[in-house]
Chains A and B, each alone.
Chain A
Amino acid sequence: MSSKAILFDGTQCIGCRSCEDACCKKWGLEYDEAVASDERLSERKLTTVVTRGEHYARRLCRHCADPACVSVCPVGAFTKTDLGPVVYDEGRCMGCRYCMLACPFQVPAYEWSKALPRVRKCDMCAERLRAGLPTACSEACPTGATVSGDREKLIEEARRRLAENPKAYDGRIYGLSEVGGTSVLMLSAEPLAHFGFPANLPQEPLPPLTGRVLSFVPDVVGVGAVLLGGIYWITHRREEVAAAERGAGARRENHE
């Protein structure tokens, strides 16, 4: 199956929060007024609508093509699946929260109130996608602002909308190339930075930043061991030679 994606078009969103409701139902989370009014991702909701005047955006895991969370997790609790979703295995997680630090979109949330906490984040309804179903949020969306489908087709669709109605959008397809591309694509009437999204993200994936350094590890070990062993040999050999010479000198003197 080809890679899947979610396309969110902010110009079609009416801020009804049906996506939040559907998402909470899927995860078995209670959804009420208090949860609805907090426009931050948390252990209580894994997606949220962000309001700015008349405009709306959505926060949810972007399911990066080369995700920072997958690369930083010391126990491999995150996996980028072939279908697109980045999924989390709570059975491996030891709770170091490096994924939360590393995520460029500040997505993973933690169960701070629990004695045995887990990381919580959108999994793009990986099971539903595998069964050929749309994600819960796109199914619940009454206006078609959120849709799911093949990534390539959704990119085409996004391009078509930008071309047909250029004045309605800020002209960008978010997720096309940020941090190397993501499986969540977004269209917006105004820059997402206005909604509090990071504006300074590189267009290249983040994992190579640490990967390059880690690739030096075998060299450091190999070269370092030889170097230190060599220094040890030289510094101690010098001593042995000096001792031997002293001994030889003393013997010679005794002879004479």
Chain B
Amino acid sequence: MSRALRLPRLTFWRATFLLLVGAALYATYLRFFHGLGASTHLTDQFPWGLWIGFDVLCGVGLAAGGFTLAATVHIFNLKRYEPIVRPAILTAFLGYVLVVAALLFDLGRPYRIWHPLVMWNPHSVMFEVGWCVTLYTTVLSLEFAPVVFEKLRWRLPLRLLKVVMIPLVIAGVLLSTLHQSSLGSLYLIVPHKLHPLWYTPLLPIFFFFSAVMVGLAMTIFESWHSSKAFGRHIELPLLRRLARVLAVLLAAFLAMRFLDLARRGALHHLAGPGSEKYFFLLETALFAAPMLLLFQSRVRASPRALYFSAVLAIFGFVTNRLNVSVTGMEAASGAHYVPKWTEVVVTLAIVALGFAVFYVAARYLPVFESEESVHEAVGAAAEGERIVLRGA
């Protein structure tokens, strides 16, 4: 019997995905045909909402694993991390493309997104961010290109890229350092608007530091998910080391945060009026919990506990960035901002799209290609250290 044409099975997640895409398409229609007023809860008092606070500020940070791991392997020559570089670069590349997509929703006149490239204002942090993000997205596409070329067996471009790869990686690290910190610098101009629990001259340093932190957490996050999705081995020894670094970074970040608050005499805001302190405590708890967990070798030995801790750290990071961009800005603006459903749906759809494209790319391109070769080379000796996650 010939095989009948079969539709893909409609699982719960696929149904959710379809519903989300449908809602996002309608939201997109509202945004581009009826304007920002009809599609957001933004006002003159509160001009930046979820699309900037989450999609851009968090999106760029969550993609920081790309430059961190590229530097670790290619500059610092720590070869053992090689198997997780490609997925990290793929995450970063997708992350930046999606940030730009979100920006097209948020900009009042998205077709002018190229303006900063020709109409210069070097005094503007946003100008610097625009240039860095443009250049770094190009760098990321070149860092990821070998994966595509390998699949297509294009030898010449592969060889050419190999020649320029180290300068590219260095450029990528520099560009990332600049714009990851500059996202924090954006808020240096509003000392009178941003709540003292978050406004500090150290904002650029905190943004850079937390991006490196969450980049590591994202690497653990995506390793766990791809090992589940593709039934791969999880690189547990590697992730364990990353987790230890993450724990140290989390501790250092919290220490810097509180020292800075103390130095600025802002600690009393933790007892003062207003709801900001609760959001600050939530953020702090979401950083402190994974730190305490990951300092225990028992936790680091379990893929599930590792994953859970990484997720906590990611939530801590997201809370921190939303606190800077939303919570901390509300009181001075005199407006209360809650995103409209359209903003939420577009954001969720962009995240879902990220997952979907990552899955497809990882499935059809040699993203985890090193897996087999490393596996063969290392052989049975390392078998004991690797833990197989099947289905689960």
Residues of A within 8 A of B43 (CB): 112
Residues of B within 8 A of A72 (CB): 124-126, 189
Quick one: which of A75, A200, A228, A239 contacts B170, CB cutoff 8 A?
A228
A96 to B185, CA, bound (A): 16
Interface string of A196-236 (1 = CB under 8 A from B): 10101110001101110110010011001100110110011
Task: Report whether B188 and A210 are in contact in the complex, using a CB–CB cutoff of 8 Å.
Answer: yes
Nearest A residue to B333, CB-CB: A106
> Does B149 make an interface contact (CB < 8 A)?
no
- Nearest Cβ in chain B — how far from A38, in angstroms? 11
Task: Report whether A76 and B121 are in contact in the complex, using a CB–CB cutoff of 8 Å.
Answer: yes
Residues of B within 8 A of A113 (CB): 35, 37-38
Q: Which of A97-105, A141-149, A161-169, A243-251 participates in binding chain B?
A: A97-105
Task: Report whether A209 and B191 are in contact in the complex, using a CB–CB cutoff of 8 Å.
Answer: yes
- Nearest Cβ in chain B — how far from A35, in angstroms? 14
A73-B121, A114-B35, A200-B192 known; A231 vs B107 contact (CB < 8 Å): no
Nearest B residue to A119, CB-CB: B108
Task: Report whether A115 and B126 are in contact in the complex, using a CB–CB cutoff of 8 Å.
Answer: no
Q: Which of B44-52, B279-287, B348-356 participates in binding chain A?
A: B44-52
Within 8 A of B (CB), among A65-79: 68, 70-77
Nearest B residue to A77, CB-CB: B119
> Does B332 make an interface contact (CB < 8 A)?
yes
> Does B173 make an interface contact (CB < 8 A)?
yes
Task: Report whether A94 and B122 are in contact in the complex, using a CB–CB cutoff of 8 Å.
Answer: no
Task: Report whether B170 and A225 are in contact in the complex, using a CB–CB cutoff of 8 Å.
Answer: yes
Nearest B residue to A232, CB-CB: B75
- Nearest Cβ in chain A — how far from B118, in angstroms? 9
Within 8 A of B (CB), among A57-94: 68, 70-77, 92-94
Task: Report whether B178 and A93 are in contact in the complex, using a CB–CB cutoff of 8 Å.
Answer: no
Within 8 A of A (CB), among B170-204: 170, 173-174, 177-178, 181-182, 185-186, 188-193, 201, 204
Task: Report whether A210 and B35 are in contact in the complex, using a CB–CB cutoff of 8 Å.
Answer: no
Nearest B residue to A229, CB-CB: B170
> Does B71 make an interface contact (CB < 8 A)?
yes
Within 8 A of B (CB), among A94-137: 94-98, 100-102, 104, 106, 108-118
A220 to B128, CA, bound (A): 13
A94-B115, A112-B42, A115-B32 known; A101 vs B109 contact (CB < 8 Å): no
Within 8 A of A (CB), among B353-389: none
> Does B112 make an interface contact (CB < 8 A)?
yes
Quick one: which of A73, A220, A232 contacts B166, CB cutoff 8 A?
A232
Task: Report whether A73 and B108 are in contact in the complex, using a CB–CB cutoff of 8 Å.
Answer: no
A210 to B129, CA, bound (A): 13
Interface centre among B43, B107, B124 (most CB of A within 10 A): B124
Task: Report whether A42 and B192 are in contact in the complex, using a CB–CB cutoff of 8 Å.
Answer: no
A186 to B178, CA, bound (A): 41
A93 to B332, CA, bound (A): 26
Residues of B within 8 A of A94 (CB): 107-110, 112-113, 115-116
Residues of A within 8 A of B35 (CB): 111-115, 117
Nearest A residue to B175, CB-CB: A221
Task: Report whether B174 and A209 are in contact in the complex, using a CB–CB cutoff of 8 Å.
Answer: no
Nearest B residue to A206, CB-CB: B189
> Does A41 make an interface contact (CB < 8 A)?
yes
Task: Report whether A106 and B174 are in contact in the complex, using a CB–CB cutoff of 8 Å.
Answer: no
Residues of A within 8 A of B190 (CB): 101-102, 104
> Does A40 make an interface contact (CB < 8 A)?
yes
Task: Report whether A41 and B44 are in contact in the complex, using a CB–CB cutoff of 8 Å.
Answer: yes
Residues of A within 8 A of B188 (CB): 209-210, 213
Task: Report whether B126 and A98 are in contact in the complex, using a CB–CB cutoff of 8 Å.
Answer: yes
Quick one: which of A92, A116, A210 contacts B125, CB cutoff 8 A?
A210
Residues of B within 8 A of A201 (CB): 192
Task: Report whether B173 and A224 are in contact in the complex, using a CB–CB cutoff of 8 Å.
Answer: yes
Nearest B residue to A207, CB-CB: B123
Residues of B within 8 A of A93 (CB): 108-109, 112
Nearest B residue to A115, CB-CB: B35
A202-B191, A209-B191 known; A92 vs B44 contact (CB < 8 Å): no
A92-B115, A101-B47 known; A213 vs B192 contact (CB < 8 Å): no
30 contacts between A and B (CB under 8 A): A74-B124, A74-B127, A75-B116, A93-B112, A95-B108, A95-B109, A96-B106, A97-B47, A98-B124, A98-B186, A101-B189, A101-B329, A104-B193, A108-B44, A110-B36, A112-B35, A116-B109, A118-B108, A206-B191, A209-B191, A210-B124, A210-B186, A210-B189, A213-B188, A220-B178, A231-B76, A232-B74, A232-B166, A235-B75, A239-B77
Given A74-B116, A95-B110, 18 additional A-B pairs, CB 8 A: A73-B126, A75-B116, A76-B120, A76-B121, A94-B109, A96-B106, A101-B190, A102-B190, A104-B190, A108-B44, A196-B334, A201-B192, A202-B191, A206-B189, A217-B128, A217-B178, A220-B177, A228-B174
> 4 shortest A-B CB distances, which residue pairs?
A95-B108, A112-B37, A235-B77, A94-B112
